[in-house]
Amino acid sequence: MATPKTPIIAFLIFLLFSTPTTSTATKKPVRGHLPCKEMVFYFHDVLFNGQNHDNATSAIVGSPQWGNKTTMATPFSFGDLVIFDDPITLDNNFHGPSIGRAQGMYLYDQRSIYGAWLAFSFLFNSSAYIGTLNFVGADPLMNKTRDISIVGGTGDFFMTRGIATLMTDSFEGEVYFRLRVDIKLYECWQ
């Protein structure tokens, strides 16, 4: 009975010791991906501050117990949740022609430095593009550039994925900021 089992045990021992070596040896090489599409947009956010109701494009909808909905909480706006519907333009001119809207939310989730978490969509409605791009990710605001994920898209951006590099292009107190968004798509289906 012992004889037929021996090769099996030997094989199991072989598997046990060979597996780690094999998986290291077959580790996938890091490929240098190139984007299939690159675009640059700006979006403009005017936060409601109690007086600018007609012009505001965003509003604090949730604040911590120690804050309120017209002023960012201290410290570091922690706990504030903002909903926005911001115009998207091709250059940094707020009054330039808008090619769509950036709609969604950002929430401040860092207690010891300015940092937010973003979840929003670009809704394009122009002769250049029709469709949406969906963004999500952490936004450490003190970084000059921040990368967030583009997790999908529809219409002209069917099934896409990529990275958006955000840059604060202008910042006027708590009321107005402008973001430059450098989009690199690495998966394009059309």
Ligand X SMILES: *[C@@H]1O[C@H](CO)[C@@H](O)[C@H](O)[C@H]1NC(C)=O
Please state, in angstroms and rounded to a whole number, the distance separating the CA atoms of residues 142 and 171. 12
Question: Which tokens in the block code for residue 141?
Answer: 């605001």
User: Mask: binding to ligand X, 139-168, rule CB under 6 A, as x and -?
Assistant: -x--x--xx---------------------
Please state, in angstroms and rounded to a whole number, the distance separating the CA atoms of residues 25 and 14. 16
In the set 2, 5, 54, 65, which binds ligand X (CB under 6 A)? Answer: 54
What residues form DSSP beta bridges with 160? none
Q: Which stretch binds ligand X (CB under 6 A): 23-31, 64-72, 107-115, 153-161?
A: 64-72
* Residue 125 in contact with ligand X, rule: CB under 6 A: yes
In the set 71, 149, 154, 168, which binds ligand X (CB under 6 A)? Answer: 71
Q: Which stretch binds ligand X (CB under 6 A): 14-22, 30-38, 48-56, 181-189?
A: 48-56
CB 189 within 8 A of CB 47: no
CB 178 within 8 A of CB 44: yes
Q: Which stretch binds ligand X (CB under 6 A): 11-19, 21-29, 67-75, 170-178?
A: 67-75
* Residue 18 in contact with ligand X, rule: CB under 6 A: no
Q: Are strands 58-62 and 81-89 parallel, antiparallel or unpaired?
A: antiparallel
* Residue 70 in contact with ligand X, rule: CB under 6 A: yes
How is the chain split among helix, strand and coil, in percent rounded to 5?
A: 15, 50, 40
Q: In terms of CB distance, is 19 or 55 closer to ligand X?
A: 55
Q: Which stretch binds ligand X (CB under 6 A): 3-11, 36-44, 66-74, 106-114?
A: 66-74
Please state, in angstroms and rounded to a whole number, the distance separating the CA atoms of residues 112 and 26. 42
* Residue 68 in contact with ligand X, rule: CB under 6 A: yes
Q: How far is CA 101 from the centre of its chain?
A: 16
Please state, in angstroms and rounded to a whole number, the distance separating the CA atoms of residues 39 and 181. 8
Q: In terms of CB distance, is 115 or 152 closer to ligand X?
A: 115
Please give the residue ranges that form the binding site for ligand X (CB under 6 A): 52, 54-55, 68, 70-71, 125, 138, 140, 143, 146-147
